[in-house]
Structure 1
Amino acid sequence: MTDEIHSLNDNNNPSADTSSDKEEIEILTSTQQSMAQNKPKNKVFAFASLCVISAFIGGLTTVAVIPHIYPTTSTAMQTSNSSFTQVANLTATETNFPVAQIAKNVGPAVVGVSNLQSSRSFSGNSGLQETGSGTGFIIDAKKGYIATNNHVIDGAQKITISLSDGRNLDAKVIGADPRTDLAVLQISDTTNLTAVKMGDSSKVEVGESVVAIGNPGGEEFARSVTTGVISATNRTLELQGEASYNLIQTDAAINPGNSGGPLVNYQGQVIGINSVKYAETGFEGMGFAIPISDALPTLQQLINSGVAKHPALLVSTDDQYNTYAKSNNKPQGAYISGVTLNGPAAKAGLKQGDVITKINDGLVQNSSDLIRELYKNNVGDKVTITYIRDGQTKQVEVTLGELAST
């Protein structure tokens, strides 16, 4: 039986298959919660698959401590320079909307995203054709900003946005970050646009009702509405080069084309970005979303500067070590297979063959744990790394470096 993780892109995208040997673990900063329990063990298929909702690509490349994109988020995400409408914590007196009202309120802010790339027909003529499609949602109606997944627009030579009123508009990429699988697009015609309201995903509870809105299969089924509950939080998937930790799991139906669409609570607030579907034969209702409170800092960085900056350790890791460790009764951890010259880890004295077991007080048993713990920090932060060398446990302080999305 083969485990599969599928991105929700509508069409295959051969250029998207970039899985490699864990050259660089890029790590986003600031996660709100420790997440790594109950990981589904699966093979990762690049979002080249039809049935896939997240192009979780990029072989764990250089454990560059990726973005400090997911900082610990408090209730109020709104800042003076924020482009987003952030809703304060709900009180017990606030009531839920019926699904029909949620669809009516949020639906107009949900858009279709078409990825157009060059192709050559059998007749020998070349031109742009849709190679994939997904979903996005408007986060700033005045400026025409749209949030989606990076894998939805990866490799695009032209991007077309389809609005709920029937308009089809060209979009430009404001910024994209493969490490978090997030992207911000912009359309120039902002006439009669509606933006979503952001919720606080750190407050969601298992069993809470949610609504997913998106374009499964493309424009033919645009703005389809499905309902379900939050099945679990803090899920970690073994996905390379992506925001594969702290995910929200839901049983709301998510299908190819839903990638980049909003997961909404019953107050009509976006709490997640639908990004992954677990699609092993026999499994039903296992979709995953990036928590919105984790995603907002990255989206804001992309809007402000076009890039997302991440704290970086700059080492390569190899989880094959853990199979060896288990068989030989050795401690589990993140095995360092390479260290970037003059990088933060190298300057601190870490070497190939060291096994990282903790970042500060956070337990590290594999590369995903390492990413999770590094994500809790920012560029320039000093962290204490516990590691094993030649059978002895040691500690060292490391000042995290910086990586920027390209």
Structure 2
Amino acid sequence: MDNNRYDNVKDTSWKKVESGKAKIKFISSKRRSNMVKAGKVFCFILIAAVSGGLSGAYISSRREVTKIYTPNNDQILVEPKEKANNARTENTSENSITEAAEAVSPAVVGISNKAENYFGLQDLNSGSGIIVDSNGYIVTNYHVIQGADKVMVKLSSGKVLDASVAGVDERSDLAVIKVNAKNLPIARLGDSSKIKVGDIAIAIGNSLGEEFPGSVTAGIISALNRKIEYNGVVYKVIQTDAAMSPGNSGGPLCDIQGDVIGINSLKLSADSNVDGVGFAITINEAKNIIKSLIKNGQISRPELGISGESVISQDNKIQGIYIQQVEKNSGASEAGIKPTDILIELDGSKVNNMSDMEDILQQHRVGEKVKGKIWRNGRIIEAYITLSQIR
């Protein structure tokens, strides 16, 4: 908008009054004085209103958009920073956290793992779960139901139901259980690839067991793509400082919109002085596993059929996986791979450790052939390995 738009506008607020030959009727001085005062007040209010209105309209129009002209004289309208900043502030308000928690909490359940012993059914473990299908399918951590003789589910309404195990995947620490119920509230699964460090993170679950159902804690995303090794398996997880306890295992980690971005699984607790470090399996990694467990009760995951550890030569020229064991009837065995071989390359990519190998295998399916390079007694050997199904 042109800053000089008002420069040439004539002031029509006042008009010159010329004296004329009109009869003048005198009134009392007191009445005349009051009328003069009232007139002055009215004129002052009128001038203030007009000036304020014009100024407000001008400022409002200035704040509404900013005009930028490109070299081709194309006009671009840009939202003012003040307005954008206010929107961001509103999105991260406490009310937003409340709304997100209210949206997800109905789909969060408590899970009791019971085992039979000499004294009858006893509580073995407890955790949380997320309803992902209105017909009663619930995702949780494998370790929450591991070794259970009976699994009980407590809905957010307080109703307690028996659950059966639909499928488990020990490797990913995920499991799906099912209750006999219909029209259950479900959680909305988000896209964990879109989250950023510093985003709001909300953890919901039965902290410290059934005595604290539906506990809500909030923090931020502390780190992405963390690789945590647990019981010989490498997990790619989200790190958050949202407070967690063992009872949160299997519950959701949500973003500010109330979308599930992770499944709370591991907590760094080796050092009692460490706090504010929690981990969640990314929902993008979990989605296909959940679908497969619901449909098939198991996961079809490819493997070479080897186990080993990362090694590097003293001259740093050879680095890879030193193969300690080769499974019988596996793709590696049929390709002629032997213990003491060193796997240095797979599918055209260098392999420095087991995590590298797993990343490559995730891009393939059972039954596919991949080319591998083996270092054996000073020679490089090529081998074509048919991927078998992990057991």
TM-score by length of 2: 0.72
Match of 2:303 among 312, 318, 323: 312
User: What are the equivalent positions in structure 2 for 1:148-227 lying under 5 Å apart?
Assistant: 148-190=140-182, 193-227=184-218
Deviations 1:114-135 (A, max 9, x none): 0000123xxxxx2011110011
Which residue pairs with 2:356 in the alignment?
A: 369
Deviations 1:296-341 (A, max 9, x none): 1111111111111111211122x2x63xx46685633221111123
Deviations 1:155-214 (A, max 9, x none): 1000000111111111011111111111111110235x2100011112222222111111
Which residue pairs with 1:270 in the alignment?
A: 260
Match of 1:131 among 124, 129, 140: 124
Which residue pairs with 1:356 in the alignment?
A: 343
Secondary structure of the residue aligned to 1:221 is: coil
Deviations 1:237-256 (A, max 9, x none): 122354x3321111111211
How far residue 258 of structure 1 moved from its aligned partner, in angstroms, is 0.9
How far apart, CA to CA, are the structure 2 residues paired with 1:198 and 1:339? 39
User: AA paired with 1:172?
Assistant: S
How far residue 367 of structure 1 moved from its aligned partner, in angstroms, is 2.4
How far apart, CA to CA, are the structure 2 residues paired with 1:386 and 1:223? 51
Which residue pairs with 2:102 in the alignment?
A: 104
TM-score by length of 1: 0.69
How far apart, CA to CA, are the structure 2 residues paired with 1:369 and 1:127? 46
Secondary structure of the residue aligned to 1:159 is: strand
Which residue pairs with 1:392 in the alignment?
A: 379
Unaligned runs of 5+ in 2: 1-87
User: AA paired with 2:270?
Assistant: E
Is the contact between residue 179 and residue 241 of structure 1 (CA under 8 Å) also seen in structure 2? no
User: AA paired with 1:138?
Assistant: I
Larger Rg: 2
Is the contact between residue 245 and residue 372 of structure 1 (CA under 8 Å) also seen in structure 2? no
Secondary structure of the residue aligned to 1:130 is: strand
Over the aligned positions, Cα root-mean-square deviation in angstroms equals 2.2
User: What are the equivalent positions in structure 2 for 1:230-245 lying under 5 Å apart?
Assistant: 230-242=221-233, 244-245=234-235
> CA separation of 1:263/1:361 partners in 2, compared to 1, >3 Å: closer, same or farther?
farther
> CA separation of 1:117/1:194 partners in 2, compared to 1, >3 Å: closer, same or farther?
same
How far apart, CA to CA, are the structure 2 residues paired with 1:361 and 1:225? 46
Which residue pairs with 1:293 in the alignment?
A: 284
Is the contact between residue 228 and residue 236 of structure 2 (CA under 8 Å) also seen in structure 1? no
How far apart, CA to CA, are the structure 1 residues paired with 2:350 and 2:213? 43
Is the contact between residue 380 and residue 400 of structure 1 (CA under 8 Å) also seen in structure 2? yes
How far residue 400 of structure 1 moved from its aligned partner, in angstroms, is 0.9
Name the % identity: 44
Which residue pairs with 1:341 in the alignment?
A: 328
Which residue pairs with 1:42 in the alignment?
A: none
Is the contact between residue 112 and residue 134 of structure 1 (CA under 8 Å) also seen in structure 2? yes
Secondary structure of the residue aligned to 2:301 is: strand
How far residue 361 of structure 1 moved from its aligned partner, in angstroms, is 4.1
How far residue 349 of structure 1 moved from its aligned partner, in angstroms, is 2.1
Unaligned runs of 5+ in 1: 1-91, 121-125
Q: 1:144 aligned to 2:136?
A: yes
Q: Between Structure 1 and Structure 2, which shows a larger proportion of helix residues?
A: 2
How far apart, CA to CA, are the structure 2 residues paired with 1:385 and 1:202? 30
How far apart, CA to CA, are the structure 1 residues paired with 2:275 and 2:372? 40
How far apart, CA to CA, are the structure 1 residues paired with 2:197 and 2:268? 18
How far apart, CA to CA, are the structure 1 residues paired with 2:175 and 2:388? 23
Aligned residues: 300
Is the contact between residue 249 and residue 289 of structure 1 (CA under 8 Å) also seen in structure 2? yes
